[in-house]
Structure 1
Amino acid sequence: MPFGARLAAAMDAHGPLCVGIDPHASLLEAWGLPDSPAGLREFSSRVLEAVGGRVAAVKPQAAFFERHGSGGLAVLEEVVAAARETGTLSIVDAKRGDIGSTMGAYAEAFLRDGSPLAGDALTVSPFLGFGSLAPAVELATATGRGLFVLCLTSNPEGASVQHARRGAGAGTTTVAASIAASAGELNAGAEPFGSVGLVVGATIGAAAQGTGTDLVGVNGPLLAPGVGAQGAGPDELRAVFGDARRTVLASSSRGVLRAGPDLGALRAAALKAAGEAARALRG
């Protein structure tokens, strides 16, 4: 079954929430864990024990594992495998983007059947040209995995690229609108939606409208970081996503993780966030 269909079913079953697994140093310290591969392993294990099988997806942030070298990468492999065992979709947040054979190698690492780093989906960067993602698109399609393409992010620096206009005259469009249109072409005709989604920050305000980005036309999942601790609540989600909000997968990291290390508190925080996201996006 394609990733888009599997994600839609998971969102219907558990609510439109993705829980980030972000073992950065301050959280490890707050949980009383060492900033080491052993600390990463314990942290990730507790998160998965609390939310596995209870939320639509989890999203390990690769950078927090990579900074520990081979030991951290080994833990990331374990996280991907453990999520699969719980029946929870995993989105590896690695934001890979390159050209030619290098992009092909990234695709092999994160999207190939049998690769220990291959979750159910991968975040990718299109800012070397959307066409540079072709190796990832082709392999994800062949293996039933998904992609989340950076489009409209909440960092202030992103607007200088994402809001930039290209073309001339009546054909002028923004970079973000072009990315969304390219994703929509790949998802055309897919039901309930396609497997090539976008990353659209939940705190971007009116940026989608201002850049002419057709989020409904994407016909794919919209991964929305920034829910909870970063300030996006029901009103912000409705304002940002409008008629596209039923395809939104809200992502919460610190908003859930700061409830740890107690398993019950983590689980309660995740279920509360899932319920709030469902009311905001599907009400």
Structure 2
Amino acid sequence: MPESSASAVGAGGRFGDRLAAAIAARTGLCLGIDPHPALLAGWDLADDASGLRDFGLRAVDAASPRVGIVKPQVALFERHGAAGLDALAEVLAAARAAGLLVIADAKRGDIGSTMDGYAAAWSASGAPFAADAVTLSPYLGFGSLDGAIATAGESGAGVFVLAATSNPEARALQTAVLGGGAHRGRTVAASIVAEAAARAAEAAERGSLGDVGVVIGATVRLIDYGIRPADLIGVPILAPGFGAQGARLGDLRSLYGDAARQVLASSSRELLAGPVDELGARLDAATAELGA
């Protein structure tokens, strides 16, 4: 496995502050680096570890002068085993060396020492897959993530916790109303937002963003999940679903209201499909649409 970029974790201070600066400088466009077999073929790359590496590095090269944030999809590297994970580590390191904020879309979630192991892999100082932030699943209880959140904070990294995802299978669970506990009367999704907002309160008072964000799909309506824009003050929002999944970058304000300025609008297939030498132009057009 290539040498980790972990020495850069936390460079420049808290994750939320770095993220706020990146959004202010280059909008919240986030390029998803998703090496699907069809996209690899479109760039004349083999569906193997070497192809994944070339795909990721070409995406980083196109992104670095244009956007501030990239999001490699871990599963699409992991499917090639150890060699695929080597390729992922190289792409993560290259992206961070290029000055990009990197969100590892790993969706990890467990309890106790197992969760600690995931945190050591992605967020800790010296992590082999060092990223600026990692996506986490809270469905063993939000409190099960406390150790991982603490580890990330100690190294200046962040996390994005799944709250309202766009897949239809999740709707019944995420819109269910809690019958007891501190979040009685809230939907499951709204309770996750409330936990993130509590951790963002100090940063919000300073006009910045917290280190604990949420994932809210761009194809869901906040109101359907019991979430109001006012609930999201200071909370970074990772919003997949722009482009091929149906949401339009130009609709960001109507989708998220006053919370739009803290949204990372993630798009992958719509930007990655097509000739690789035109990726820069597609990124420029997406940035212009988002900033309009």
Instruction: Judge conservation of contact 2:27–2:67 (CA < 8 Å) in 1.
Output: yes
Q: Of 199, 206, 218, which residue of structure 2 is paired with 1:186?
A: 199
Q: Deviation at 1:210?
A: 2.6
Task: Determine the C-alpha separation between the residues in 2 that align with 1:94 and 1:168.
Answer: 30
Instruction: Judge conservation of contact 1:202–1:236 (CA < 8 Å) in 2.
Output: no
Q: Deviation at 1:160?
A: 1.5
Q: Deviation at 1:243?
A: 1.5
State TM-score, norm by structure 1.
0.93
Residue identity in the other structure for 1:77:
A
Secondary structure in 2 matching 1:180: helix
Task: Determine the C-alpha separation between the residues in 2 that align with 1:145 and 1:3.
Answer: 5
Task: Determine the C-alpha separation between the residues in 1 that align with 2:180 and 2:55.
Answer: 51
Please name the residue that 2:225 is paired with: 211
Please name the residue that 1:65 is paired with: 77
Q: Deviation at 1:228?
A: 1.6
Instruction: Judge conservation of contact 1:81–1:116 (CA < 8 Å) in 2.
Output: no
2:65 is aligned with 1:50: no
Secondary structure in 1 matching 2:114: helix
- In the TM superposition, what whole-angstrom CA distance separates every residue of 1:131-150 from its partner, at most 9, and x where no partner exists? 01011110111111111110
Please name the residue that 1:197 is paired with: 213
Q: Of 279, 285, 292, which residue of structure 2 is paired with 1:266?
A: 279
Please name the residue that 1:130 is paired with: 142
Change (3 A) 1:212 1:49: same
The count of aligned residue pairs is 275
Q: Of 217, 220, 243, which residue of structure 2 is paired with 1:228?
A: 243
Task: Determine the C-alpha separation between the residues in 1 that align with 2:239 and 2:288.
Answer: 16
Residue identity in the other structure for 1:212:
G
Task: Determine the C-alpha separation between the residues in 2 that align with 1:277 and 1:54.
Answer: 13
Runs of 4+ in 1 over 6 A off after TM superposition: none
Instruction: Judge conservation of contact 1:259–1:269 (CA < 8 Å) in 2.
Output: no
2:37 is aligned with 1:25: yes
Please name the residue that 2:7 is paired with: none
Task: Determine the C-alpha separation between the residues in 1 that align with 2:275 and 2:158.
Answer: 29
Task: Determine the C-alpha separation between the residues in 2 that align with 1:10 and 1:45.
Answer: 20
Q: Of 264, 267, 271, which residue of structure 2 is paired with 1:256?
A: 271
- In the TM superposition, what whole-angstrom CA distance separates every residue of 1:140-167 from its partner, at most 9, and x where no partner exists? 1111111111011111011021111111
Instruction: Judge conservation of contact 1:180–1:214 (CA < 8 Å) in 2.
Output: no
Instruction: Judge conservation of contact 2:162–2:216 (CA < 8 Å) in 1.
Output: yes
Secondary structure in 1 matching 2:276: coil
Q: Deviation at 1:277?
A: 1.5
Q: Deviation at 1:128?
A: 0.8
Change (3 A) 1:249 1:228: same
Residue identity in the other structure for 1:258:
A
Q: Deviation at 1:233?
A: 1.4
Instruction: Judge conservation of contact 2:164–2:225 (CA < 8 Å) in 1.
Output: no
Task: Determine the C-alpha separation between the residues in 2 that align with 1:54 and 1:253.
Answer: 15
2:164 is aligned with 1:155: no
Please name the residue that 1:167 is paired with: 179
Task: Determine the C-alpha separation between the residues in 2 that align with 1:168 and 1:33.
Answer: 52
Q: Deviation at 1:57?
A: 0.4
State TM-score, norm by structure 2.
0.90
Please name the residue that 2:5 is paired with: none
Secondary structure in 1 matching 2:38: helix
Task: Determine the C-alpha separation between the residues in 1 that align with 2:58 and 2:250.
Answer: 31
Gaps spanning 5+ residues in structure 1: where?
Answer: none
Aligned identity (percent) is 51
Q: Of 47, 50, 59, which residue of structure 2 is paired with 1:38?
A: 50
Mapping for residues 77-92 of structure 1, pairs under 5 Å? 77-92=89-104
Instruction: Judge conservation of contact 2:136–2:162 (CA < 8 Å) in 1.
Output: yes
Q: Deviation at 1:203?
A: 0.9
Q: Deviation at 1:48?
A: 0.9
Please name the residue that 2:260 is paired with: 245
Task: Determine the C-alpha separation between the residues in 2 that align with 1:168 and 1:128.
Answer: 16
Task: Determine the C-alpha separation between the residues in 1 that align with 2:97 and 2:189.
Answer: 36
